Structure 1
Amino acid sequence: MALTWAESYLGKVRASVGDTDTILFVGARGVLFDDQNRLLMIQRSDNRHWAIPAGAMELGESMQECAIREVWEETGLRATSLTPFAFYSAYQYTNDYGHSYQQILMSFRIHTWEGELQRQTDESVDAGWFPLDALPNNSFVVQETLADLAKFESTGQLVLK
């Protein structure tokens, strides 16, 4: 079972620091395509935005373990083979709750997985596979992640930003 926000490492740090200071957000993102080249996206339970499965790392986890756990918590799929393709460390953002973060995040291409897609979990209210020309959220983050994956696949070089 997934930790609640208050139980999570990031939730504990935010509670101790308060709402106004920028803190580091360390996490991972998992990018999955089905055999029809459709992207897996989830509709988040906290803000109802469509997103690529991702989340914050817990103490004692590697970034790869974080990606595996986040994809599982949000989709019911357990990654069995994955490759890092992009590392982000320079982005700052403020979320819908007014909390400011500097993001340190690794994106992984998940090649294989096991299990059945769960459309609803504790962290998602919907999930599905979408053609790239019909994504439910065409946000900067989704587009940048897909562009970085394409760059990695064409060059074989980890994308660093």
Structure 2
Amino acid sequence: MALTWNESYLGRVRTSIGDADTLLFVGARGVILDDQNRLLLIQRSDNHRWAIPAGAMELDESMEECAIREVWEETGLRATALTPFAFYSSYTYTNDWGHTYQQILMSFRIHTWEGELQRQTEESVDAGFFPLDALPGPKSPIIGETLADLAEFERTGRMVLK
């Protein structure tokens, strides 16, 4: 069962220190492209933007485990083979609720998975595979950068570090 925001590590920390301070956000995202090179996106339940499945790490969890859990919670698919391709540590952003975070995040390419896609979960109101030239909107601003970083990794074989 997925944790609620208030039960999550990051939710508990945010509640304890309030809204004013910048927090470190440690997490992972999982990029799934199907055999037709369509990208899996979820429509988030909180802001209704289309996004790559992602989220914050919990205590005692690795970044890889975080990517697997977040993809499962948001799509019903369980990643069975994945490769890290990008590591981000210098981005600071403020979300729709005025909370500021510095991201420490790893992106994973998920090669294989099992299960059936759930279009609605506690964290998403829709999900699907979309052609790269026809992604739905409104969409998360990081999708383009993440796909460019994946292409760079596939071209060079070197992890992208930002």
TM-score by length of 1: 0.98
**What is the letter of the counterpart of residue 34 of structure 1?**
D
CA distance in 2, matches of 1:15, 1:140: 27
SS of aligned partner of 1:134: coil
CA distance in 1, matches of 2:48, 2:152: 29
| Corresponding residue number in structure 1 for 2:146 | 145
CA distance in 2, matches of 1:32, 1:116: 14
RMSD, aligned α-carbons: 0.7
**What is the letter of the counterpart of residue 68 of structure 1?**
I
Residues 75-131 of structure 1, C-alpha deviations (whole Å, 9 max, x = no match): 000000000000000000000000000000000000000000000001100000000
CA distance in 1, matches of 2:158, 2:84: 10
**What is the letter of the counterpart of residue 151 of structure 2?**
A
- Size of the aligned set, in residue pairs, is 161
CA distance in 2, matches of 1:116, 1:139: 24
Whether the 8 Å CA contact 2:49–2:140 is kept in 1: the answer is: no
CA distance in 2, matches of 1:133, 1:20: 39
CA distance in 2, matches of 1:140, 1:153: 21
| Corresponding residue number in structure 2 for 1:15 | 15
CA distance in 1, matches of 2:73, 2:117: 11
In structure 1, list runs of 5 or more residues that go unmatched: none
Would you identify which runs of 4 or more consecutive aligned residues in structure 1 move more than 6 Å?
A: none
Q: Report the alpha carbon displacement of residue 139 of structure 1 after superposing the two structures with TM.
A: 4.4
Cα distance, 1:69–1:139 mapped onto 2, change above 3 Å: closer
Deviates more, 1:139-148 or 1:23-32: 139-148
CA distance in 2, matches of 1:100, 1:111: 32
Residues 9-30 of structure 1, C-alpha deviations (whole Å, 9 max, x = no match): 0000101110011000000000
Whether the 8 Å CA contact 2:79–2:110 is kept in 1: the answer is: yes
Identity %: 81
Q: Report the alpha carbon displacement of residue 136 of structure 1 after superposing the two structures with TM.
A: 1.1
Q: Report the alpha carbon displacement of residue 140 of structure 1 after superposing the two structures with TM.
A: 3.2
| Corresponding residue number in structure 2 for 1:154 | 155
| Corresponding residue number in structure 1 for 2:34 | 34
Cα distance, 1:46–1:140 mapped onto 2, change above 3 Å: closer
In the alignment, does 2:60 pair up with 1:81? no
**What is the letter of the counterpart of residue 46 of structure 2?**
D
In structure 2, list runs of 5 or more residues that go unmatched: none
Whether the 8 Å CA contact 2:50–2:140 is kept in 1: the answer is: no
| Corresponding residue number in structure 2 for 1:70 | 70
| Corresponding residue number in structure 2 for 1:54 | 54
TM-score by length of 2: 0.98
